[in-house]
Amino acid sequence: MAYSAVVGFRKVSALGISRVLQADKGSLWRFQLETEFGEVLRLGSLTRNYRKNSGPPKFDFTGTEATSTFDFTDLTCPHTWYPIARKKKRKVILHVGPTNSGKTYSALKHLEKSSSGVYCGPLRLLAWEVAKRLNKANVPCDLITGQEKELKEGATHKAVTVEMADVTSVYDCAIIDEIQMVGCTQRGFAFTRALLGIAADELHLCGDPAVVPLVEDILKVTGDDVEVHTYERLSPLVPLKEPVSSVSSIKTGDCLVTFSRKDIYAYKKIIERAGNHLCSVVYGSLPPETRTAQATRFNDETNDFDVLVASDAIGMGLNLNISRIIFSTLQKFDGTGTRDLTVSEIKQIAGRAGRFQSKFPIGEVTCLHKEDLPLLHASLKSPSPLLERAGLFPTFDLLCRYSLAHPKHGLYQILEHFVENAKLSSNYFISNVEDMMKVAAIVDELPLGLQEKYLFVVSPVDVNDEISGQGLAQFAQNFSKAGVVRLREILAPDRVKVPKTPTELKELESIHKVLDLYVWLSLRLEDSFPDREVATSQKSICNLLIEQFLEGNRLNSPTRVSRYLRRQKF
C-alpha cells in the first residue's frame, strides 16, 4: 500500500481468525486474536432473516425451567418500564413541519427558558450545536454523547445523543429531535425509550408530520396531554422543470447529492477538473469533526470551496448554505439492495436548499437526469407516508432476568429468541439486531459476564467495516484476558500518514472508528481502558490527515491551484 499506516491483511483462513488479524510487520494495527475464534468473526455468515423462522421455540421463554411463570418475551406494555416518567402527567408538544420551518428553533426557545432540561438529538453534531447555543445564551449546558462528556459548572441543562438520554432524572423541559426516527429499523428503539422514559413536565417532539398519529396512539396509555403545533417552511423551495445537463452548469452554492463514496469522489474530480469550482464533501463515514470542517469551508464565502458533493448525510445535523440541491440519482443501496428513495428521504434532502436568512433564501431542487424529475416532483407534492410502528428492544433488566432463568444460554441465543418470540402491541416492532448479534457471537466465545458482553454489543462498532470489527474483537479479547486494554498494544501511531488515494482514506476513516470505539469504552470502563487521552489525541491526528487529503484533492483543478496556494501561503 502507498501508506504503511494501514493494516496489510492476509486472506481469511477457514481454520483460524489469527491469520486474518495478524497485521504485517510495520503496519498500524497489531491485531493478535486467539485461534479459537475460528469462524466466529466471519460476521457476514451470522446474518439471519427472522421473518422466515418457523416452528415452535427451542427454549422455554416463560421461565418454567426455573420454576418461574414470568413471561420474559411479553413486551406489550413498554410504558411500564419507566416508573419515574409514569409518575408525571407530562405535557407533550409535537412541533411538526418540513425542513427549514423553525420547529426545532421554537422548541429550543422553551428549553432556554426552563429551569432544567435536556435536548436529545440523533447526531453528535446536533448535540454539539445545541450545547454551544445554550452556553452562548448563558444557559450552562453539559454535552454528553457516547464519546464525550463535557460538564459545565452549575449546569442544569444537557445536550445529549438520544442513546444517552437519562430516564432516571427529572426535568422541567425536554426535547427529542427528529422524532420520526422512532420508525428507524436499527435505532428506533432509542427514540421510543426517550419518548416513553424521559420524566419531564414538558416534552417537546420535533419532526415530520407523519409521526403524529403514531405518537398520539402510543401516549394514550401514559396519561400524558398531547398537543400538535404545525409549521410551514420559512423560505420557498422551487422544483426546477429542467435537469442540470452538464458539469458546466454547476454553480456556486450547488450541492450534488449521490449515494456512494466512490461516486462522491468521482463527481468531485469531474467538477474540479472543469476548473471553475472546488468541492467540499460530506458523507456518513467521515468523522463528525471532518464533516463539520467541510461544511464550514463550504459556507465560508472567502474561500474557493463553493460546491458541495454529499450523500444523504446532509439531511440532518449540519447548517449548510445551499442554493440548489441536484440529485445525481433517486436510487440508493440500503445494505440489501438498490431501491428508490422514499418520499420522506427526498423531502428531507431537498429541503436543505434555501436555508432561512442565508445567502440563498430561495432553494431550488433538480436532478442530473431528466427521467428522475417526475419522481422528484411527485414526492415533493406528497405527504410522507404515516409511520405505523415504533422500534422496541428489551431492556437489559429483561435480558438479565432471562439469563438468570437460563444460565447456559449465551447472549447470542438470548437475543435470537427474544427476536423470534417477542410479544408486541400493534404500535411496535422489534428493532433489527443483526449487527448486535454479530458482536454477541464474538463475545460469547470469551469469559465475560452478561453485563460486559452487553456493553460490547451496544457499542457503536461498525461490524460491516473490517478494521472496525477486528478492533472490537481485539478489545474484547484483551479485556477478557487481562482486564486492561492498552492502546499501545494495538496501535502504532508513528506510522499514520496522509492517505494518497480514496482507498487509503477509507482505511484511515476505519482507524478513526476504532479509536472512537476505544473512547466510548473508556467512558464506561475507565480503569480497563485507561488510554482515553491517547485515543482522543490520535483521533485528532486522523481528522487532520483526512482534512489534508481532502484539501490535497484540490490539485485536480489546475486553473485554480496557484490562487489557492497563495491564500494558504504555501
Q: Average pLDDT, stretch 474-487?
A: 95
- Give the percent of the chain with pLDDT over 70: 84
- The Cα–Cα gap between 377 and 240 comes to 9
**Average model confidence (pLDDT) for the chain?**
85
Q: Average pLDDT, stretch 28-33?
A: 54
Pairing between strand 331-333 and 338-340?
antiparallel
Residue 530 has pLDDT above 60, yes or no: yes
DSSP structural state of residue 387: P
CA 229 vs. chain centroid, Å, equals 27
Provide the 3-class DSSP secondary structure of residue 423. strand
Taking each helix axis from N to C end, the angle separating 434-443 and 466-482, rounded to the nearest 10 degrees, works out to: 40
DSSP characters over 205-260: EEE-GGGHHHHHHHGGGTT-EEEEEE---SS-EEE-SS---SGGG--TTEEEE-SS
Smallest CA-to-CA distance from 350 within 98, 173, 181 is with 98
Residue 519 has pLDDT above 80, yes or no: yes
pLDDT score of 553:
55
- The Cα–Cα gap between 300 and 542 comes to 23
User: In residues, how long is the chain?
Assistant: 570
Taking each helix axis from N to C end, the angle separating 124-136 and 103-113, rounded to the nearest 10 degrees, works out to: 50
Smallest CA-to-CA distance from 26 within 497, 552, 554, 371 is with 497
pLDDT score of 556:
40
Provide the 3-class DSSP secondary structure of residue 545. helix
Please check whether residue 119 is in contact with residue 254, taking contact to mean a CB–CB distance below 8 angstroms: no
pLDDT score of 337:
87
**Cα angle 432, 200, 395; round to 5:** 30
387 to each of 157, 379, 394, 523, how far by Cα in Å?
31, 16, 21, 35
* Sign of CA pseudo-dihedral 80, 81, 83, 89: negative
pLDDT score of 275:
87
pLDDT score of 3:
32
- The Cα–Cα gap between 145 and 456 comes to 17
Residue 165 grid coordinates:
438520554
First to last CA, the chain: 28
pLDDT score of 26:
42
DSSP structural state of residue 337: -
Interval 254-272: pLDDT, tens? 999 999 999 999 999 999 9
Which residues on adjacent β-strands are paired with residue 543? none
Residue 282 grid coordinates:
460530506
Residue 51 has pLDDT above 60, yes or no: no
Interval 468-477: pLDDT, tens? 999 999 999 9
- The Cα–Cα gap between 414 and 399 comes to 7
pLDDT score of 494:
62
Taking each helix axis from N to C end, the angle separating 396-405 and 450-457, rounded to the nearest 10 degrees, works out to: 140
- The Cα–Cα gap between 465 and 474 comes to 14
CA 471 vs. chain centroid, Å, equals 19
Residue 4 has pLDDT above 80, yes or no: no
Interval 333-392: pLDDT, tens? 887 889 999 999 999 999 999 988 788 989 999 999 999 999 999 999 999 999 999 999
Confidence of residue 558 (pLDDT cuts 50, 70, 90): very low
Residue 152 has pLDDT above 70, yes or no: yes
Q: Average pLDDT, stretch 297-319?
A: 92
- The Cα–Cα gap between 152 and 170 comes to 19
Residue 135: which H helix or E strand, with range? helix 124-136
- By the 10 Å C-beta count (0-12 exposed, 13-18 middle, 19+ buried), 233 is classed as middle
Interval 492-513: pLDDT, tens? 766 678 898 888 999 999 999 9
- The Cα–Cα gap between 220 and 541 comes to 50
Q: Average pLDDT, stretch 51-79?
A: 56
* Residue carrying C-alpha cell 476505519: 510
Q: Which residues have a Cβ under 8 Å from the Cβ of 460 and sit 6 or more positions away?
A: 146, 147, 516, 517, 520
pLDDT score of 417:
87
pLDDT score of 246:
84
Q: Average pLDDT, stretch 215-229?
A: 97
* Sign of CA pseudo-dihedral 385, 389, 395, 400: negative
- Give the percent of the chain with pLDDT over 90: 71
Q: Average pLDDT, stretch 283-290?
A: 92
pLDDT score of 36:
43
Please check whether residue 430 is in contact with residue 439, taking contact to mean a CB–CB distance below 8 angstroms: no
Q: Which residues have a Cβ under 8 Å from the Cβ of 2 and sit 6 or more positions away?
A: 499, 500, 501, 504
The phi, psi pair for 7, rounded to 5°, reads -60, 135
- The Cα–Cα gap between 73 and 61 comes to 7
Please check whether residue 251 is in contact with residue 245, taking contact to mean a CB–CB distance below 8 angstroms: no
Which residues on adjacent β-strands are paired with residue 392? 430
Please check whether residue 118 is in contact with residue 171, taking contact to mean a CB–CB distance below 8 angstroms: yes
- The Cα–Cα gap between 53 and 118 comes to 41
Smallest CA-to-CA distance from 528 within 440, 456, 457 is with 456
- The Cα–Cα gap between 364 and 136 comes to 32
Q: Which of 30-39, 150-159, 202-211, 243-252 bottoms out in mean pLDDT, i.e. has the lowest?
A: 30-39
Residue 565 has pLDDT above 60, yes or no: no
Q: Average pLDDT, stretch 175-197?
A: 97
pLDDT score of 211:
98
CA 68 vs. chain centroid, Å, equals 39
- The Cα–Cα gap between 298 and 480 comes to 45
Residue 267 grid coordinates:
463527481
Q: Average pLDDT, stretch 317-331?
A: 93
Residue 98 grid coordinates:
418540513
Q: Which residues have a Cβ under 8 Å from the Cβ of 483 and sit 6 or more positions away?
A: 528
